[in-house]
Structure 1
Amino acid sequence: MIFDYPTLKLIWWLLVGVLLVGFAIMDGHDMGVGTLLPFVGKNDEERRVVINTVGPHWDGNQVWFITGGGAIFAAWPIVYATAFSGFYWAMLAVLWALFFRPVGFDYRSKIHNATWRSTWDWGLFIGGAVPPLIFGVAFGNLLQGVPFHFDDTLVPYYTGSFWGLLNPFALLAGVVSTAMITFHGAIYLAHRTEGDIQRRSITAALIFGVLMLVGFTAAGLWIANGSIGYAITSAVDTAALPNPLAKTVELQPGAWLTNYDKAPLTMLVPALGYAGGIAALLLVWKGRTLAAFVASSFAIVGVIGTAGVSMFPFVMPSSTVPGASLTVWDAVSSHRTLGIMFWATLIFMPIIVAYTSWAYKVMAGKVTAAYIRENEHSAY
């Protein structure tokens, strides 16, 4: 292997983060558009305009979601198994919400019936709004610690409940996530449309952008002043084979801020969240929608990156048995598996990026009501 085991563990922490951010940026703006669909489109024609801004490529952007899930399964199998045990009903809710997207996009305009089309519009709203909310709630619970433990054979046991996941801090994280994705989608919609739809989209972007920044600040203050945080208090062999029970962990209020003290440059990550969000607000207000979309993408990198940097090296801390917490060093696959996956990613990731870039270049431009009328049978 060209990289040693500890280096590959760190690389895969970064790669999983890249895939999550890629999903939030690429599929996120599709979901944000779906969330806004019933509100920025006031009649059937306007809603068809909104749908056609994302209709041709939403399914291609799902690659980021699938790849991210596959990467977690292969790189962090214990995390995958434990998370799906604890978040089982939440993950099912995400899948049920996502079911509305393919059928909604494909069947919504097949029948000229107002009730039929309105029903699918709200289905697309559910498919766009529910996943970001649940993913945000999941991150909020990760930051607080998840109630799970292992037996002597490393079989995970989740001791919490579905309703326990809906605690105040987790709901705040869900608001931040939803606002962030809707903000991103509103900017994209403003870039691809004109007239009344564009004006409504800019208004939505200003509202949700401010909500994201306020929520992000509130969550940071909550962490800084609350009892959230975990720290490893024993020596860690970063080159050892995976064994999450071979360490000692303690609940330490304010521990999620430790990495910023140890490495001050990490402060650039949350700063990027603020800078990107503020820049996106100013740019979309000025009508510079493409630059605003780039800025909101950087905001997403900063917000998600802040959670990752704050928790490092933790991936999934345990609130009931802190020593069972899963980290970058002890919840991974073998050295060989990480190495093979690294080279596969090195080959296929550029292909995905190149294809996606080409597809967006081909589909660039405004979607208008005139386009919908001229392509009545081929448009969504």
Structure 2
Amino acid sequence: MTSIPLDYEILRLIWWALLGILLIGFAIMGGRDLGVGALLPFAARSDQERRQLLNLIGPTWEGNQVWLVLGGGAIFAAFPPLYAVSFSGFYLAMIVILLALILRPVGFKFRGKIKDPRWRAAWDWALFIGGFVPSLIFGVAVGNVLLGAPFALDDTMRIFYSGNFFMLLTPFALLCGLVSLGMIVTQGAAVITGRTNGLLADRARFYGTLSALATIVLFAIAGLWVAFGLDGHVITSVVNTSAPINPLSKSVELVRGGWLANYSAHPWTIAAPVLGFLGMAGAFVGLQRRLGVPTLLASSVGIFGIIATAGVSLFPFLLPSSTSLSSGLTLWDASSSHLTLFIMLLVTVVFLPIILLYTAWVFRVMRGPVTAESLEKNPNAY
């Protein structure tokens, strides 16, 4: 291992940051599509307007799923215990998300096959579910991470999960779900108002300003809840940041407001929630003033700040346990080996820039407004 140029602690930190970047990338890029889908039955009132929204996200939504796939792959390869616990314990919740996401490609392909208004309306609502449900449940999942998942590890590292799907739907978790839904709807509204016109853009602007304002308020309430009404997990034993994985080697205590400890120890981390508030406030102003790209950039900054706030608050925890505190998984005791993380980093350094360049090229090609006239000129439009 001494031949690896980066030590184990640094590699673990790099992969913690990369995992956060991948998840934020999906929230920003995939949030464009999810947000438009969640607004589909409300912002668009006619078949033509709904076709505009479908063709707004239709050419790019599949590529945006790359971020979700990469995030899942990073968890699987870089943090195997986290993958094992989360994908087994949250299995039903993930099935619900996947079933909702499956409605999107089916809806895109089948909606236009029959001109019956009832047929198309049914698929419009299916596409709405495909945007609304994942946006909500992803936030609920983050809320449950902050609460701690009901699992325990025995001496042989076997997992014992004692929860169920309905236990995930607690008030705090649902609040986090609403924060997630609000920021995703704001992202979708920013996309619609930037690339459409007329009444369609005006309606999206109206719903977007409401969602941006709601996100700011709900994010503030969630922060107060974390500070004064939630017990955070705090490691009380000495941590060896370069030791082999062994979650049971530490001791953990619950402390009221413990999730705020990192902000006291490292004041610069307060930038994360500040960006969350400022980004959503900027999106609110941008929607009000009918700004295009600046609104989308502000909304993306808000998403970055909100998700980064959760990551900074949890650090170094990846998935705390609510039933066996010492079983909680952290960055230091749930990662892959030194060599595995290094090889993965080399692969990432090569392929991540390619993905970024390709994504930038696709959005450059697909830029421009989507109007009724542009649909008539495109025989391949949805």
TM-score range, shorter chain: over 0.9
* Structure 1 position 215, deviation (Å): 0.7
Give the ranges of 4+ consecutive aligned residues of structure 1 lying more than 6 Å apart after TM superposition: none
CA contact (8 A) 2:262 2:313 kept: yes
CA contact (8 A) 2:232 2:254 kept: yes
Letter aligned with residue 381 of structure 2: A
* Residues matched between the structures, number: 379
Give 1:64's aligned residue.
67
Give 1:160's aligned residue.
163
CA contact (8 A) 1:143 1:228 kept: no
Question: Alpha-carbon deviations, 1:166-209, whole Å to 9, x = none?
Answer: 00000000000011101111111111100111101111110100
Question: Alpha-carbon deviations, 1:302-337, whole Å to 9, x = none?
Answer: 000000001100110001110000001000001111
CA contact (8 A) 1:137 1:166 kept: yes
Give 1:120's aligned residue.
123
How far apart, in 2, do the equivalents of 1:55 and 1:2 lie?
Answer: 44
Question: Alpha-carbon deviations, 1:207-240, whole Å to 9, x = none?
Answer: 1001111110000000111132010000011100
How far apart, in 1, do the equivalents of 2:337 and 2:108 lie?
Answer: 41
Which of 24, 33, 36 in structure 2 is aligned with 1:33?
36
CA contact (8 A) 2:150 2:323 kept: yes
How far apart, in 2, do the equivalents of 1:191 and 1:204 lie?
Answer: 14
Which of 336, 339, 346 in structure 1 is aligned with 2:339?
336
Task: Check if 1:237 corresponds to 2:245.
Answer: no
Give 2:21's aligned residue.
18
How far apart, in 2, do the equivalents of 1:128 and 1:227 lie?
Answer: 30
Give 1:192's aligned residue.
195
Letter aligned with residue 265 of structure 2: K
Task: Check if 1:260 corresponds to 2:263.
Answer: yes
CA contact (8 A) 1:85 1:157 kept: no
How far apart, in 2, do the equivalents of 1:176 and 1:228 lie?
Answer: 20
* Structure 1 position 371, deviation (Å): 1.6
Give 1:74's aligned residue.
77
The alignment's TM-score, normalised by the length of structure 2, stands at 0.98
Task: Check if 1:272 corresponds to 2:248.
Answer: no
Task: Check if 1:83 corresponds to 2:86.
Answer: yes
SS of 2:359 mapped into structure 1: helix
CA contact (8 A) 2:186 2:283 kept: no
Letter aligned with residue 305 of structure 1: A
Unaligned stretches of 5+ residues in structure 1: none
* Structure 1 position 159, deviation (Å): 0.9
SS of 1:320 mapped into structure 2: coil
How far apart, in 2, do the equivalents of 1:172 and 1:228 lie?
Answer: 16
* Structure 1 position 373, deviation (Å): 2.4
Give 2:227's aligned residue.
224
Identity %: 52
SS of 1:250 mapped into structure 2: strand
Which of 95, 99, 105 in structure 1 is aligned with 2:98?
95
CA contact (8 A) 2:97 2:133 kept: yes
Give 2:250's aligned residue.
247
The alignment's TM-score, normalised by the length of structure 1, stands at 0.99
How far apart, in 1, do the equivalents of 2:346 and 2:124 lie?
Answer: 42
Give 1:291's aligned residue.
294
**Aligned-CA RMSD value:** 0.8
How far apart, in 1, do the equivalents of 2:132 and 2:148 lie?
Answer: 25
1:99-114 alignment runs, 5 A limit: 99-114=102-117
* Structure 1 position 110, deviation (Å): 2.1
How far apart, in 2, do the equivalents of 1:2 and 1:365 lie?
Answer: 46
* Structure 1 position 294, deviation (Å): 0.4
How far apart, in 2, do the equivalents of 1:83 and 1:66 lie?
Answer: 15
Task: Check if 1:204 corresponds to 2:204.
Answer: no
Give 2:145's aligned residue.
142
SS of 2:230 mapped into structure 1: coil
Question: Alpha-carbon deviations, 1:239-272, whole Å to 9, x = none?
Answer: 0011101100111111111101001110111001
How far apart, in 2, do the equivalents of 1:202 and 1:194 lie?
Answer: 11
* Structure 1 position 273, deviation (Å): 0.5
Task: Check if 1:48 corresponds to 2:51.
Answer: yes
More displaced 10-residue stretch of structure 1: 294-303 or 278-287:
278-287
Letter aligned with residue 26 of structure 1: M
1:302-341 alignment runs, 5 A limit: 302-341=305-344
